Amino acid sequence: MKKKGMVIFLTILATLILIISIYMDKQKFYKQLVIHEGIKDKVYYDTSGNRTIGVGFNLERDNADQILRRVGANFQDVINGRYSLSNSQIKLLAEMELETIEEDARKAVDNYDSLKDVRQRVICDMIYNLGLHGFKKFKSTIGYIENKDWDNVADNMLKSKWARQVKGRAKVLASMMRNGVDTYDL
């Protein structure tokens, strides 16, 4: 009886560890985004000329008004510079985005859930920056991810127009993808 109970316990424990391991560390991802995107409580223009706020939240997107309302902010007041987001609103905005980004990552990369957390964060960082449509243009890179060919993943990332635009960010993310190790102490 004790043996059977121990087997059941170990099976449940292994299942929980597996479930936990397939989810990216959202706190580390938020910290990583803050490093790459910066954090601003008022509207600013990103490198593409889009009005942005918080941790790179694009105010030009179709549903920006609805999303800002969900964090307790008035779109017009934010756009017109009459309202600054609080730190908790900024973090909530990023966390709401993350749920969608992880869903998008699972759609774009077949083996997303089997990847190490650090590599999941690289994919999500790119989707956050490029959008799902932009990330899906990295067809060869996605193929290399699915084949776990990390050197070619990193090389392809660095050869892209995106890498020329985001410069240091691309180098850091490519290194994280190549080595499967955090570049930052998050």
Looking at residue 77, what is its pLDDT? 96
pLDDT for residue 47? 78
Report how far residue 41's alpha carbon sits from residue 141's, in angstroms, rounded to the nearest whole number.
34
Looking at residue 181, the DSSP 8-state letter turns out to be S
- pLDDT computed for residue 20 by the predictor: 45
* Count of domains forming the chain: 1
- pLDDT at res. 25: 85
Q: Nearest 10 degrees: CA dihedral of 166, 172, 177, 180?
A: -160
The DSSP 8-state label assigned to residue 160 in this structure reads S
Would residue 29 count as lying in a domain?
yes
- The pLDDT assigned to 184 comes to 79
Do the domain assignments include residue 4?
A: no
> Residue 28 in contact with residue 121, Cβ under 8 Å?
yes
Domain-located, residue 17: no
Inside any domain, residue 18: no
Query: pTM for the full model?
Result: 0.82
Q: What's the average pLDDT block by block, 10 residues per block, for the chain (186 residues)?
A: 60 51 75 92 90 94 94 95 94 89 96 96 95 96 98 97 93 97 81
For the chain, how big is the Rg over CA atoms in Å?
Answer: 19
In this structure, is residue 8 part of a structural domain? no
Question: How much is the pLDDT for 7?
Answer: 57
- Domain span at residue 68? 25-179
Query: Does residue 10 lie in a domain region?
Result: no
Domain harbouring 153, CATH code: 1.10.530.40
For position 9, what pLDDT does the model report?
53
CA 142 – CA 44 distance, rounded (Å): 32
d(CA 99, CA 104): 9
Residue 73 covered by a domain:
yes
Q: pLDDT, tens digit, for every residue of 66-119?
A: 999 999 999 999 999 999 999 999 999 998 888 899 999 999 999 999 999 999
Q: Determine, yes or no, domain membership for 185.
A: no
